[in-house]
Structure 1
Amino acid sequence: MAAALAGGRPPVVLDVRWALGVTDGREQHRAGHVPGAVYVDLETELAAPPSAAAGRHPLPDPADLQAAARRWGVRADRPVVVYDAVGGTSAARAWWLLRWAGHEDVRILDGGLAAWRAAGHALDAGEVRPEPGDVVVTPGGMPVLDADGAAGLATSGVLLDARAGERYRGEVEPVDPRAGHVPGAVSAPTTDNLAADGTFLDPVALRARFAALGVVDPGREPGAARPTVGVYCGSGVTAAHEVAALATLGVDAALYAGSWSQWSNDPARPAAP
């Protein structure tokens, strides 16, 4: 990314520092960020207001997302790189949304801010106010599931639950109203996509991980049918990281945007232990 920033067509860089229950992302950005990176507020810019009916991080209204992306300086003819300080698990939400919105050249900085610093690159401090962008949001660039679609995939394809294993098993539920998981879903914690340094596992290890979970890579197994794959998490944030991991292997997975926060608020939806 350092070479790209020094080139003639530098990417727009977005800082998406966020973690569940942590609200000081903007202060962290002001203290030190990749030069030129614009801070993006996940709670207010990458999601619509929460509700029991739609979940904790519903997809934003396209017009609101377009206005936000233009504030960030996103342009139709410029690539975008997103990063965070948690292995890409929050930055992937911006990656997914911008691709859903029709921007094809969006990437995640592998290893995030820690990798940037480990490579010896400097940070800047203070606010970043870019020139307004011109991106036009056209939803539909990434597949999306609703609750019925997620339920169907759990029996007809592969539905991956990207939350921590103890939440999948119903041992704890720190945020949502009911514990458990979508019946038929497979536990696949998104953090297991990462090495100890916060970078993605190498492609061989990732492919083996998802093959063990029932996700077939047709490029590696000629003649095998690719199952339909969907991913959910607590509220549609870390599941986007799993969609990104699958994308590196050529697997197009659908995101259940409402995720467990929507499912568990509907008493008509069963919860498996």
Structure 2
Amino acid sequence: MDATVSKRWLLARLYEPEQTIVDCRFTLGQPKAGRDSYEQEHIPGAIYLDLKLDLSSPVSEHGGRHPLPDPEVLAARLSKLGIGNDTRIVAYDDENGMNAARLWWLLRYLGHEQVFILEGGFSQWKEGKYPVTDHQPVRVPSTFTANVQPQMLAGVEEVREVSEKTVSNAGAESESDVNVASAVPVLPVLIDSRANDRYHGQNETLDPVGGHIPGAVNYFWKDTQNLDGSWRSAEQLEEHFAGLDKDREIIVYCGSGVTACPNILALEKAGFKNVRLYAGSWSDWISYEQNAIATGKE
């Protein structure tokens, strides 16, 4: 089954007991806005998970602006909210799916596959005259046991090595040194999911340093969606990512590890099988003085 579900699909299953709907609305710079919106109105039966309080750890020197939550802490939070290992989860937000995709990725990282994202988010649900409420459901605690999948992550040391070798290999190829270039093993592709201007080092408003990881290519995460906020089809996404080799490993990053997640979803929808997340992303990368920074076009 696709990772996204339609409004009609959810409406038909709205009150199924084995399902939990999760409201992931969150606005950067307005930390209470998502919770306030949820308390005002939400999809019936939905619970709320906060990007900073539930889906991230506290910020420290390294790890980026939204460090991954501790798996056991998140598992305990899910258990308290009545989510078990057999629960089907449907997540939504109002930010083109970026926060819902963060939860989608995190749950899969914890070994939970039954998780989906609502197409169009809350606003389209409401505009379509689907039911909303301000009632907050009473949840009976369950047991969620984390089965962490470490292979889904790439750490800063590996990303640094991939970056350095990618740049070195590109330099060898530019000098037509076929022997040197061919001696370099096939490297993972680094994908930067941010908007093109931020990738180039322009108009950076979220992080203290602009630019990108040397060797990374830019695929803006919002380009995986249609103008109405729906996700593009598998065929359209295959065309979008046509410049990438499906047999190569891919490491995806963004500013803080959130908007990389919808890009990972889109890559998997397009048929890419070996896609990992650099969770700390750019905000973690620049926390290390020794890490190189590139600007402009690669």
Moved more, 230-239 or 136-145: 136-145
- Aligned-pair distance for 1:116? 2.0
Paired position in structure 2 for 1:256: 278
Alignment of 1:94-243 (within 5 A): 94-140=103-149, 143-154=152-163, 155=166, 156-212=187-243, 214=244, 216-217=245-246, 226-243=247-264
1:73 maps to 2:82? yes
Q: Structure 1 residues 53 and 141, CA, compared in 2 at 3 Å: closer, same or farther?
A: closer
Paired position in structure 2 for 1:17: 25
Paired position in structure 2 for 1:55: 64
Which structure has the larger Rg?
2
Paired position in structure 2 for 1:220: none
Q: C-alpha distance in 2, partners of 1:95/1:153?
A: 26
Q: Secondary structure at the match of 2:102?
A: helix
- Aligned-pair distance for 1:204? 1.6
Confirm or deny: 8 A CA contact 2:44 2:132 kept in the other structure.
yes
Instruction: Output the TM-score relative to the length of structure 1.
Output: 0.91
Confirm or deny: 8 A CA contact 1:4 1:10 kept in the other structure.
no
Paired position in structure 2 for 1:93: 102
Paired position in structure 2 for 1:223: none
Q: Structure 1 residues 186 and 227, CA, compared in 2 at 3 Å: closer, same or farther?
A: same
How many residue pairs match? The answer is: 262
Amino acid at match of 2:264: V
- Aligned-pair distance for 1:59? 1.1
Q: Secondary structure at the match of 1:63?
A: helix
- Aligned-pair distance for 1:66? 0.9
Cα offsets for 1:12-45 (capped at 9, x unmatched): 1110001321221000001111101001011011
- Aligned-pair distance for 1:119? 3.6
Q: Secondary structure at the match of 1:52?
A: coil
Amino acid at match of 2:70: D
Moved more, 134-143 or 238-247: 134-143
Q: Secondary structure at the match of 1:13?
A: strand
Moved more, 122-131 or 61-70: 122-131
Task: Quote the RMSD (CA, aligned, Å).
Answer: 1.6
- Aligned-pair distance for 1:209? 0.7
Paired position in structure 1 for 2:182: none
- Aligned-pair distance for 1:180? 0.4
Q: C-alpha distance in 2, partners of 1:51/1:141?
A: 21
Q: C-alpha distance in 2, partners of 1:255/1:40?
A: 21
Q: C-alpha distance in 1, partners of 2:150/2:88?
A: 16
In structure 1, the gaps of 5 or more residues are 218-225
Amino acid at match of 1:143: M
Q: Structure 1 residues 46 and 10, CA, compared in 2 at 3 Å: closer, same or farther?
A: same
Confirm or deny: 8 A CA contact 1:158 1:228 kept in the other structure.
yes
Confirm or deny: 8 A CA contact 2:189 2:248 kept in the other structure.
yes
Equivalent pairs: percent with the same residue?
A: 37
Instruction: Output the TM-score relative to the length of structure 2.
Output: 0.83
Q: Structure 1 residues 26 and 89, CA, compared in 2 at 3 Å: closer, same or farther?
A: same
